Structure formats: C-alpha cells, structure tokens
Structure 1
C-alpha cells in the first residue's frame, strides 16, 4: 500500500485547505453558536467540486478514489467537522445507497443534485426505542395501490431542517424482522411529514438534528428504493463509506487538537518557562501524535481496500472505532493542556471536545463496532 500524496491530490488538498481556512474558519464559531448550518458555505464548497466525492462524474460527482476523498474529509474536519460531514453526504450512506440500488430516474432526481452540492439529504433510520438494533424498527409501511402509507417516528436525524430529500426505512411486517424492512425516498414537503428540531445540543450544533414524524404519508411506489424487504441490505451495504467518512473526520479533528495544543504549549508560560517544557504536557502531546498517525493509517488502509474493490467491513469498523475513541482521548488531553481557557468561547478547543464525544456514537456506537470486529475475526459474520 502506497499512501504517498500524488500531484493531483496535492492540488485538491490545496484548494480544500484554502477554502477551509479562508472561508470556513472565520465563520465557524458564529454558526456553531447559533446552531445554524451554513448553506452559503455549502454552496461555495460545491462550486469547488468538494461535494461530489466518490460519486461518478456521470451522476454529478467528482469521481474521486476513496483515498483522495478521505484526505479531503480530513482536511475539512481540521477546521469544521460539520462541513466535512456535508462533503460526505453524497459519498456516504444516503448518496451511495441511491447509486447502488436506485433506478435511473431516482439517480437523476436525487443523487445528481446531491453530488452537485444541491443537498442536504437526511438519513432517517434511528427510532426512539432503538439505535443500532435496526431490525426492531416500528415505523410501518402498508401497500395501498400504487402508493405505500408510512406511519412512525425517527429521531436524531441530522439535517432534518433544510434537507431536500430523506432516505428512510419502514417495515412491512414487524414479524419478518430485517426481511420486512424497506427503503423509501421522501420529499420533506409531502403531506403528513412533520419535522421537529432539537435545540441547545451539547455538540454537533450546526447539524440541524431533530425528529421526523410520519403520519399517513403516501409514498409513490416509484419512490421505493430497491425491492420490498431489501431495506436492511441497503442500509448495511453503504455503511463502509459512512464509517470511512466518520473516521476521516475524527482524524482531521485529532490533527487540529494536536496543532492547537502544540501552539498553546509553546506560547503559554508558567513558572518562567513555556508550558511545553513540562514532561506531563510533553507526554500528552506524544500520545496525540501517535494517535493521529495510527488513526490516519487505519483510515487510509480502509480507503485503499475500497479502491481495490475489496469489502472493508472489518477495516471500516476498526477505523471508525479507533479514530473516534482516540479523538475523545486527544480532545480531553487538549482541554487539560488549555486549562481554564478551554472553557472560553474564544478558544476553539472546546468545540472539538464537545463534538468528539458524539463521534463515538454516530455510524454505530463503538461498543457495537467492538463486537463486530470480534465476530468478523471469529467467523460469526
């Protein structure tokens, strides 16, 4: 595996870094404080070709390989993980599901605009009583002629406020378990759809998280994604890309925490010498660097296997679990190095610390990944 950066990747990353530092950084504190997703910056990012990711050019994407895509996500996440998340929408669970299972009409109507940066998309899977236990969902779909009628609730859905379309899942019969789950493409202004925002969140503040309520929503058969009973397969087949994106965001955030800690340790003076002279501070910075390099290698290994056409279920779980756990440790140490200043809104480190905790939960709680990794190795999956 060769992870050296090519000339083409250098050019893309230079563009990404300029956009992140010149356009996102001056605004991120304000929109994070306001719990507002910056659609204007999202449009600018799209104009630079950073929202298309691995989606083929024929469907509006950038046609990146997975390694280039992961590098772009890392670079954006150094400044704002929410904008890095936006760059992954087309290449993540929502877009890739349509790419793999959608009809040509569905791809043109939903995937192409998303890849071009005309999103956002909401991925509505989680329910109140269940998170990772997808097979136990209670949202029902009943066939009625050339429509399905959907009833149920989904919670903790990102971008539910300004999404252009929604990928959601419902069961035709709870007794069928995962074999009854079916996927649907919804449009947020359809009758019976209600969206309720969760405000004053601890982290992920710009991501417009909320609840999706479905009350007798009539969905045309043409908006079913895949076949009846294929929803679980659709959701699970795209998670490798979703987990790769989350792991890459975590790596970018680790790099930012490391850089901020080095800068603070070099400029903060205590007892007549720089804070960085303290061995305990040096130990924390050493751990941060090792965590960054290790997590980055796991991400790039996952991306490499994806580019080779290999399944990367084990690798994606390892990358997501390790990178997000490492991020939490790094963010804690970075906050400790900053001391009381970590509590100040004038210092960015607090935002990374708040967001770090929830990177351990999205795209599957890390406890689930720990089980998955063992079961892959033991041959139970």
Structure 2
C-alpha cells in the first residue's frame, strides 16, 4: 500500500468529512431516483472553498492552492468514492495562465473567481482517438478576428458552460502545429448545440460552428499553439480519470466485503464461500497494484519528469480494473447490485464510458505505449 505523507493524509481526511456532510445526502437522493441540478452541489463547493480547497491546480500566484499531483490524486480518489462527488472550482486550462491584459480579464480571472464556467471541445464526429489527424474544424482569419466552421461531439459540461474552448485548424499544411485554440461564448449565434444522451444518465453535446465569428482576443496562446495546450490538458485529465476509477473501485470493494460478511446463504455467510473470497482478494490486489502505480507516477510528475506515457498507461489500467471490481461487487450482491437504488448499478454504467473518453484503451495501448516502447 502506498504511504501518503501526513499533509496529504490530512487533505484526504478533510475531503472525506466534506463528502460525508454535503455529498452523501445527494447520493441518497440520486438513489431514490431524483435528478440533481447544479445548485444542489453549491453547498459542498462553498464549504470546500471556505477551507481552502479552491483552484486545486491553479498556481498560488493566481490565488490557487497549487497542490502537487500526488495531493490532487489523493483528493480525487477520496472524492470519487461518492456517487455525487464534490465539485471544485477556481482552476483553468493550462494555456490560460499565460494570458495578459484584456484577455486575462475576459477569461482567466472570472474562471478563477468562479464567475465563468467553461468546457473544452476537441473531439470531432470523424474520430477522437487521433485528435491531430481528425481535426477538420477550421478557423479563418478576418479583419475583425476569426471565423470558425466545423463540428465537435461528445462534449461534456457544455450545459453548464458559459464559454467553449475549441481547437481548430488554422493552417492545413502544418499538422499538429497548424492547430489553434479559440474561446467561443456559448451564446454566439454561430454556435449550435444538440444534446446527446449517454450511458448512466450523462448528457454530452454535439456542437456545430457555422460561420462562427469571434474577435482577435478569442485566440488563446497564439496561432499554432492549440494542440500543445490541448495535450497538456489531456495528460492531466488522464491522471484524474485513473484516480476517479480508484475511488470507485475502493468503495465497491468495501461494499462487497461488508455484504459478504452480512449476507447468509446456504448455511453460512457469503464471506466463507471460496468463490466470494476469490473475488474480494482479486479486487483488493488489483486496487493496491494500481494505487501504487498511480502515486509513484504522480510523484515522478511532481519531480519534473515527463509522464505523458505513464498517464496513458494509468488511464488504461485503472479504467479496465474498475470495470472488473464493480462487476465482482454486483455479482456478490446479486439482484441488489443490479438496481439503481445501489450505487453499483450507476457505476456499472459510468465506468464503461471511462474506458473510452480521454483516449480509448486500444489507442493508449497500441498508439501511445507501443509507439513509445518501439521508438
């Protein structure tokens, strides 16, 4: 088991208390069949901000907590043991921290202060596993700024966003170096959205940009810098997905242990049955193996090492692992694990999607890891 230092353990204890007080009641409401709105999460967000859990990835000079990756992974794992985790604010996409003047006042400052919500749009209907090659959305410079045309799909958080950061091709002859990032206001008349329902009750959107005009300040980070900024965001997101999976797996494991001890069948508790013991032990071993790798790689990242390949590996391994653990927990619970009155059924839907977004398992295995090993 990975030993966290005293400061990190204190952070996880704090998150555990906040989740228990503010988020577990929300989980109970979801299990009763209620649909939550953004305002339902406000109490937890405000409580977290009051104790300094705000801007977790934002540097201290921008008013953020500037936490290490190890700290953030520990917080994320603890937070996602709950079906309705805390929502932290005050952090922005990496390229935004370099903004100055009017651009900073328009985008970065209100995001860090919690006044502006955003989403990120990269994936296109033509393919998401090869983002640089698949980006057909293009932006043309004009006297007044830029005109964007194209489409994005599977965009999460659009419903709550005020602005969309979208990557588009500005030079078709430069490959990844010809991709730039733009900020598009949600109410821009050239932006049209269609809701796309997903597994587990999630809602994503398909976005269409039709002669979508933005001014010169909407170009983020300079022309040709969009793909680099996007990949930085994705690497951090893959660590985050891995930690989320660990949190879910840990809670599912605890649920199966508790149920196995209490449930009596065929003359004794389930915990005495070898098949049940095997599922529990296998789950515990897999969780510990993946936790060791996650925190080891996070520590490497904090030390300044390039962990992009490790991020892909962890995202792949942890999302595959949590599928197996949740499946075993459902098997041990029987019919009680198949009802949406149990978080297990919700996680069964949610985690299937996790093997696809932020890069499908197969892409990480054969395009990221294999290419690195065989370079």
Query: For the residues of structure 1 that align with 2:29 and 2:215, how far apart are their CA atoms?
Result: 40
Alignment of 1:143-222 (within 5 A): 143-199=141-197, 201-203=198-200, 205=201, 208-222=203-217
Q: Which secondary structure state, in structure 1, belongs to the residue aligned with residue 4 of structure 2?
A: coil
Instruction: Give the aligned partner of residue 128 of structure 2.
Output: 131
Check the 8 A contact 1:183/1:224 in 2, yes or no. Answer: yes
- Give 5+ residue unaligned stretches, structure 2: none
1:56 aligns with 2:42: no
Query: For the residues of structure 1 that align with 2:127 and 2:104, how far apart are their CA atoms?
Result: 30
1:90: how far off? Answer: 6.0
Q: Which secondary structure state, in structure 1, belongs to the residue aligned with residue 187 of structure 2?
A: coil
State the Cα deviation string for residues 80-120 of structure 1 (Å, max 9, x = none).
3x636x44x766xx622323x54454445433443444454
Distance 1:126-1:215 versus aligned 2 partners, 3 A rule:
same
Check the 8 A contact 2:18/2:47 in 1, yes or no. Answer: no
1:222: how far off? Answer: 1.1
1:228 aligns with 2:227: no
Q: Which secondary structure state, in structure 1, belongs to the residue aligned with residue 158 of structure 2?
A: coil
Instruction: Give the aligned partner of residue 297 of structure 2.
Output: 302
Query: Aligned match of 2:329 in 325, 331, 334?
Result: 334
Q: Which secondary structure state, in structure 2, belongs to the residue aligned with residue 4 of structure 1?
A: coil
1:373 aligns with 2:365: no
Distance 1:132-1:36 versus aligned 2 partners, 3 A rule:
farther
Check the 8 A contact 1:250/1:324 in 2, yes or no. Answer: yes
Query: For the residues of structure 1 that align with 2:299 and 2:103, how far apart are their CA atoms?
Result: 29
1:346 aligns with 2:355: no
Distance 1:373-1:46 versus aligned 2 partners, 3 A rule:
farther
1:31: how far off? Answer: 5.0
Alignment of 1:85-104 (within 5 A): 86-87=87-88, 95-99=93-97, 101-103=98-100
Distance 1:165-1:21 versus aligned 2 partners, 3 A rule:
same
Q: Which secondary structure state, in structure 2, belongs to the residue aligned with residue 156 of structure 1?
A: strand
Query: For the residues of structure 2 that align with 1:282 and 1:360, how far apart are their CA atoms?
Result: 27
Query: For the residues of structure 1 that align with 2:172 and 2:17, how far apart are their CA atoms?
Result: 50
Check the 8 A contact 1:122/1:163 in 2, yes or no. Answer: yes
State the Cα deviation string for residues 232-258 of structure 1 (Å, max 9, x = none).
122123322111111111111110110
Check the 8 A contact 2:23/2:44 in 1, yes or no. Answer: no
Q: Which secondary structure state, in structure 1, belongs to the residue aligned with residue 199 of structure 2?
A: coil
Name the TM-score, length of structure 2 as normaliser. 0.90
Distance 1:257-1:115 versus aligned 2 partners, 3 A rule:
farther
1:69 aligns with 2:42: no
TM-align CA RMSD: 2.3
Check the 8 A contact 2:95/2:221 in 1, yes or no. Answer: no
1:79 aligns with 2:75: no
Instruction: Give the aligned partner of residue 249 of structure 1.
Output: 244
State the Cα deviation string for residues 284-335 of structure 1 (Å, max 9, x = none).
1111111111111121122111211211112211211111110111111111
Query: For the residues of structure 2 that align with 1:363 and 1:109, how far apart are their CA atoms?
Result: 28
Q: May I ask how many residue pairs the two structures share in their alignment? A: 369
Q: Which secondary structure state, in structure 2, belongs to the residue aligned with residue 290 of structure 1?
A: helix
Name the TM-score, length of structure 1 as normaliser. 0.89
Check the 8 A contact 1:31/1:38 in 2, yes or no. Answer: no
Query: For the residues of structure 2 that align with 1:291 and 1:106, how far apart are their CA atoms?
Result: 46
Query: For the residues of structure 2 that align with 1:3 and 1:64, how far apart are their CA atoms?
Result: 19
Distance 1:146-1:336 versus aligned 2 partners, 3 A rule:
same
Query: Aligned match of 2:358 in 349, 353, 363?
Result: 363
